[in-house]
Amino acid sequence: MLVVDTFENLLSESDMSLSEIADAIGIPKSQLSAYFTSKGKKTIDFVYLLRAVRVIKPDYEEAFMKAICPCFLRPRNLRAAMEYASTFNYFDLQRVLYEVNVVLGRENKDFAEIYLIYLDFQEGKVDKEEILARVNLYTPKCYETEIMKVIILCSLYYVKKDYKMVYKLSYNLDELVGKIKTEYIRESYMSRACDLIARSYLYYKNDVKKARFFATSLMKNEFSAYRRIHADYIMSISYFYEDYQLCMNYMKKYKRSLIETGNVVLAEELDNKEIPFVKNHWNKNKSIVSNDMAEVAHFHAKNGNKEEALNVLKAMEPLTPFQLYYKGIVLNDPQVLSLSFVEFMKLGNRFFANLPKNELKKYENYGFFAELLYNKTGNIF
């Protein structure tokens, strides 16, 4: 079935007039009318079709978009379709679109190549180091794929917890994305960029104001899709040190959104790790509420249960920077806290380096040198 026929079937289910639909999706009525009159010989941009299904029948979006995406004739729409399928993790559709795009012109072949690499990353079936090597070997042939290469690299380094590299690569990514002409790709890439930039400002720069600015931009983005809900997580963590109630309000909102969108596993992980972590930090847990061993150790450390904390931590060796922090606070040991601090700084995680740094202030010389190192990050780590 042609795209125009599928679109007409969608319109037949609406009580809205053609003028009302045109206004709602941001297209002149004359252009929309001409599209139907020509039976699809005149083209309509991807973004208007997406807006139309969201206006007319939101619950039908997945079925509608999966039906029309492989049927596009316009190369630009096929490129936008690849980004849409990638955004929603429609892996089967991505593979179908790869086969369609790879036999088209230079730009579409280029899109097919980079999105196939990203698909392998999304599915998690290929080792991340192999993905990183493939991305580094890949040579973009158009502006959009240059941007997508940077986005994938940022995503890989974020998973590796190399926040310094995420910041370095994403620093002016929003400005570069803003130059993309195709609206859907520009705005969808912008949501990806805002997500990564917010996280890099939060973790690497410890700049909560800028992190919140980009997280808010992500929330407002029309095409941020599932990425929008992760803005609540960024907002939550940004209040970790300064406001327990705001931190938890955003965390609970994030959890609700995860459940509503079917991300039950991630919601359960939040319940078992992130929420106990926040509560343990603020001494809000009266008893152990997690079966995550790190948070069990955290609880014991914060409550001065030295033997219990050390027994749990011993079973977890080698320790992460967070776990070294737990060990340092239960032992009141500035050397262990210093090691935690250094490990956080090596990762470029200046935000959570504040955990051991704040404790080290209790020890005059250690606190002085930690502050000195913290402020000289660029020259040392």
What confidence score (pLDDT) does residue 243 get? 98
Q: Check whether 10 has a pLDDT greater than 60.
A: yes
pTM to 2 decimal places: 0.93
The model's pLDDT over 66-83, given as tens digits with 9 standing for 90+, comes to 999 999 989 999 999 999
The model's pLDDT over 245-266, given as tens digits with 9 standing for 90+, comes to 999 999 999 999 999 988 899 9
The CA–CA distances, whole Å, from 52 to 127, 186, 310, 314, 379 equal 39, 19, 58, 57, 52
The average pLDDT across 92-97 equals 96
Q: Check whether 40 has a pLDDT greater than 80.
A: no
The model's pLDDT over 172-184, given as tens digits with 9 standing for 90+, comes to 999 999 999 999 9
**334: preceding bond cis by omega (within 30 degrees):** no
Q: Which amino acid is at 142?
A: C
What confidence score (pLDDT) does residue 30 get? 92
- Band of pLDDT at residue 380, cut at 50, 70 and 90: low
- Band of pLDDT at residue 1, cut at 50, 70 and 90: low
What is the Cα–Cα distance from 246 to 238, expressed in whole angstroms?
A: 9
The model's pLDDT over 123-147, given as tens digits with 9 standing for 90+, comes to 999 999 999 999 999 999 999 999 9
Q: Check whether 219 has a pLDDT greater than 80.
A: yes
Of all residues in the chain, the percent with pLDDT exceeding 70 is 98
Which of the two residues, 113 and 288, has the higher pLDDT score?
113
Q: What is the largest CA-CA distance in the chain?
A: 79
Q: Check whether 311 has a pLDDT greater than 90.
A: yes
- Band of pLDDT at residue 227, cut at 50, 70 and 90: confident
Domain segments of the chain as ranges: 243-288, 293-380
What is the Cα–Cα distance from 257 to 91, expressed in whole angstroms?
A: 22
Mean pLDDT of the chain: 94
What is the Cα–Cα distance from 350 to 328, expressed in whole angstroms?
A: 18
